[in-house]
Amino acid sequence: MDESLLEREEVGRDRSSCYAALWLCCHLRSGGRWDGCGRLTAFFCLFTVAFWIGVTRNLYCDPDVLQNIRPPFDGQLMPANITLVERKYLLIQFTKLVDVYDATHAHIGYFYDINLFIIMRFGFSDANGRIWFEARYASFLSRFKPIIEYNLQRCDVGGVGRTSLLYELKEVWWKESYWRCFVNCSRLFNLAERTASTQVRERLIPEANFGLDPTFQVSFDGWLAPTLRGQITGPVSSFGTGVRQVWSMHLKNATDGELVAKAKQHFVIGTASQDMRVLSRWKVVTVRQSELPNWVIGFLAVLDDIDSTLSQHGHVAYQIDR
């Protein structure tokens, strides 16, 4: 199936950004000499984009695919109470995957996250491979900030009978301790909402009021917990013992402070096909239903699991068990 116009525009912006960054770096390191810089930059960017398209060819919003499909769970995309299960493969894995299960252990779908330099894909697919929503950087500048600034939007936005809400997620870094803690850590986010009848486009810089006047506030509290793992691909170090931050999430209404949803993380040892790694599990419980869509709550719960593993925002991450 042909890529949508939005997808082609995003790939074009990513390719241009990659080209400019590498070209400038090469030029500065070579003292202004141009020999080889153009060829190196062109090869690197073409390879990167080709690799990126190959890996993500089926992982992007396509409104045409969803046009005549009824959104699962009465538009909620997932039930109110879910379990998030980290998926690992034995050897090479380019995509971070977290499966979603309901209370009966039926597979609902999965979250995916791919990061290649400054290019990102972070969204949710149902069990049939249909992408229903994505998180995108709020701006080009947001890619380089040490905090999270995401736009969260449904892929079927603007369709007949479909939601037009857009959620703006911004990390409140000056109030959290995640970037300077060791034992007891916290992460804080503001979640604002507004309407948008079409897919939002990435800006050069975020809007001045991005994430302000939040409707909900999200807090993560973490502490060090011991872990145990095995390994079949080689010798295990430290007798398989380690430590890792284990987190809990609380989502509250910003107006009355009432709890809307909560989630708690724990760890298990993977199977032999997962090289017996330490794997994350989350139990997500919605306390006040219909106040915030279930798919947004699920995204918030999986957010730290994906982001802390990649350490893409420069925070200190304690995962001495890999």
Q: What is the DSSP string of 220-237?
A: EEEEEEEEE---SSSPPS
Q: What pLDDT shows up at residue 77?
A: 95
* pLDDT tens digits, 222-251: 988 888 888 877 788 887 888 888 999 999
Q: What pLDDT shows up at residue 271?
A: 86
Q: Is residue 188 within 8 Å of residue 174, measured between CB atoms?
A: no
Instruction: Provide CB contacts within 8 A for 288, sequence distance 6+.
Output: 253, 258, 259, 260, 261
Residue 218: closest CA among 168, 252, 246: 252
Q: What pLDDT shows up at residue 266?
A: 92
Q: What is the DSSP string of 143-203?
A: GGSSS-EEEEEETTTTSTT---EEEEEEE-GGG--TTT-SSSEEEEEEEEEEE-SSPPPPB
Residue 191: closest CA among 178, 173, 210, 207: 210
Residue 156: closest CA among 61, 76, 79: 61
Q: Is residue 223 within 8 Å of residue 266, measured between CB atoms?
A: no
Q: What pLDDT shows up at residue 150?
A: 94
Burial class from Cβ neighbours inside 10 Å (0-12, 13-18, 19+) for residue 245 reads buried
Q: Is residue 317 within 8 Å of residue 308, measured between CB atoms?
A: yes
Residues of the chain with pLDDT under 50: 1-20, 23, 50-58, 309-320, 322
SS3 252: strand
Residue 17: closest CA among 140, 122, 147, 120: 140
Q: What pLDDT shows up at residue 92?
A: 72
Q: Is residue 237 within 8 Å of residue 230, measured between CB atoms?
A: no
Sign of the alpha-carbon dihedral angle for 257, 133, 66, 158: positive
Say how many C-beta atoms besides its own lie within 10 A of residue 205's C-beta: 11
Q: How far is Cα 121 from Cα 60, in angstroms, rounded to an integer?
A: 7
Q: What pLDDT shows up at residue 99?
A: 95
